Structure 1
Amino acid sequence: MTSGRIDWIAVDWGTSHLRLWLMGDGGQVLDRRHSDRGMSKLKPDEFEATLLALVGDRLPAGRRVPVICCGMAGARQGWAEAPYAAVPCLPGTWDRAARPRTSDPRLAVAILPGLSQARPADVMRGEETQIAGYLAANPGFDGVLCLPGTHCKWAHVSAGEVVSFRSFMTGELFALLSTASVLRHSVATTGEDQAAFSAALDQAMARPATVATDLFSLRAESLLQGLDPVTARARLSGLLIGIELAGARPYWLGQEVAIIGAGGLADAYATGLAAQGLSPRRTDAEAMTLAGLAAAHDALKGQL
């Protein structure tokens, strides 16, 4: 934690978690705070109290502090609905931000809108802010952004706009299959096997129609041949990411691709794309979230 005058607060309010940064003059991060009080655990009238529980000790008396939020705080079930902006459009449609009323006079809150697509139907909340941050840091980028997560997003960006995007439930499918299906008896909770992951990914991309049976083979091999649980975990990941890459081929084929993410999940996508002959750029998700929130703060300065 760094002492100093708080200029504004950056907030990424997800479904299951809340992350925020206390920002000083010049974009300096004075402190980072987090909570498991995501949108799914809150009623609309509980958001302000949740925020105050995290930052109330640092709010100055007699001054309103701008709070710029992205993510699920703007969902229909969130703090205040921030209606989607339809693509093609700029990722930073800050003028559509929702402005919930607050009881504490020290807070001036803006909740950024997500993006929507009519055909095929799709939505995103939070990722558009990372995209805006990436474009602020990489002006002129023309290509595809891959944002791994529970619901991985593939966004085609051109001339500063999000042209189209698709969401894949790969992360959620992995969680469900590894913890709530028959595969839970065969799959380790941690561990890596790079060779097994790569082989399963290639298998899924070559024969995506057989993945449903390939998945059950993990259980059968565990029972009959003592398949190592770490290897089973790697193969499960490879099969699911493989069918995603097969489905997302129109996005990445022949395109410049950048991955916004960190850790093992982003590594897995980078490995999968490298196997297809691509050399994706890599950039940190937190840095892009902060860059996008900072762009929104600058755009809304004087309006809060």
Structure 2
Amino acid sequence: MGAESRYADWIAVDWGTSHLRAWAMRQDKPVAESASEKGMGTLERSGFEPALLDLIGPWLGQDRMTVVACGMVGSRQGWTEAAYGAVPANPMPGRMTRAETHDKRLAVHILPGLKQDNPADVMRGEETQIAGYLASAPRFDGVICLPGTHTKWAQISAGEVISFRTFMTGELFALLSTQSVLRHTVGNGWDETAFAEAVSDAIARPEATAARLFSLRAEGLLHGLGPAAARARLSGALIGAELAASRPYWLGQDIVIIGATGLASRYQEALAQQGLAPRTIDATEATLAGLTTAWRTLEEAVT
């Protein structure tokens, strides 16, 4: 199959701990998408190339295909470790790490993450989303919030990540709602009022978070607190405590939220209560924009 008839110009890959997503790209436009649950956490090092080929095989011809990957695929437990860049830093540095492959049709390039020495912190994958947003807003000066299992707050100035902090809010919510005593109280559904009140209470008194969490169980037993309200209050208590701790990042700042629609909207609502007007950007769009920026860097290096 000649280069002129290839299905895709290159392949974009977002490889997290629990999921793998790939897109066949024509320049900056995806023409096909595929996903699997073969995340980094499920694979031995020898399993990465087969997992990728299972997903992208139909997009390959005989020519070598450029694959640009971000996320946990570059971690110490991943396919090939991609060294962290130290902040302050451009979120999209020129260097990438080439992964060793047995299939000669693959040229896999892995993006590095970012690290911060004091306080100690790391990110992998979020830097690509930040770079994707900055590609369309190069003069942005403010804070980017990236909600998720481990939510990131990144201070941006002059096209660089100056500092960042990570909060395990999403993971805490998952653990508390499914593996703690609160699993008997928290259910499905949502209560907007309960969420807003919980955010307000947590920001006002974050030191009372642990007691406030157990009160959800007690209110379920004594006063019939419903599962939807309990879920919203648990989320609000954790996000509110996070906002109290991250206040130096967001107070008085221009804020952009990059995340999945549901979770991003929770953060948007919580910040709006504080008189802010954050803008939201879809996480997938930001990821693809960042990976495209990296691919263009590779293309420019060989032309």
State TM-score, norm by structure 2.
0.96
Q: Which residue of 2 aligns with 1:67?
A: 67
The correspondence of residues 1-304 of structure 1 with structure 2, limited to 5 A, is 5-24=7-26, 26-61=27-62, 63-95=63-95, 97-188=96-187, 190-301=188-299
Q: % of aligned pairs identical? A: 60
Shift of 1:87: 0.1
Q: State how far apart, in whole Å, the 2-side matches of 1:94 and 1:41 are.
A: 29
Q: State how far apart, in whole Å, the 2-side matches of 1:34 and 1:79 are.
A: 18
Shift of 1:94: 3.2
CA deviation digits over 1:211-264, x for unaligned, max 9? 100100000011111110110000000000000000010000011000011322
1:205 partner amino acid: I
Shift of 1:5: 2.4
CA deviation digits over 1:190-219, x for unaligned, max 9? 211000000000000001111100100000
Secondary structure in 2 matching 1:89: coil
Shift of 1:101: 1.3
Secondary structure in 1 matching 2:118: coil
| Aligned 8 A contact 1:144 1:251 in 2 | yes
Shift of 1:90: 0.3
1:294 partner amino acid: T
2:148 partner amino acid: G
Shift of 1:4: 6.4
Question: Once superposed, which parts of structure 1, at least 4 consecutive aligned residues long, lie more than 6 Å away?
Answer: none
Q: State how far apart, in whole Å, the 2-side matches of 1:64 and 1:302 are.
A: 17
Shift of 1:302: 6.1
Deviates more, 1:262-271 or 1:64-73: 262-271
CA deviation digits over 1:107-158, x for unaligned, max 9? 0000000000000000000000000000001110000000000000000000
Shift of 1:29: 1.0
| Aligned 8 A contact 2:7 2:60 in 1 | no
Q: State how far apart, in whole Å, the 2-side matches of 1:274 and 1:148 are.
A: 16
CA deviation digits over 1:160-215, x for unaligned, max 9? 00000000000000000000000000000x21100000000000000111110010
2:47 partner amino acid: E
Secondary structure in 1 matching 2:154: strand
Shift of 1:28: 2.1
| Aligned 8 A contact 1:94 1:112 in 2 | no
1:82 partner amino acid: A
Shift of 1:303: 5.5
Structure 1 unmatched runs, 5+: none
Secondary structure in 2 matching 1:236: helix
Secondary structure in 2 matching 1:6: coil
Secondary structure in 2 matching 1:301: helix
Q: State how far apart, in whole Å, the 1-side matches of 2:141 and 2:21 are.
A: 30
| Aligned 8 A contact 1:94 1:113 in 2 | no
State TM-score, norm by structure 1.
0.96
Q: CA RMSD in A?
A: 1.2
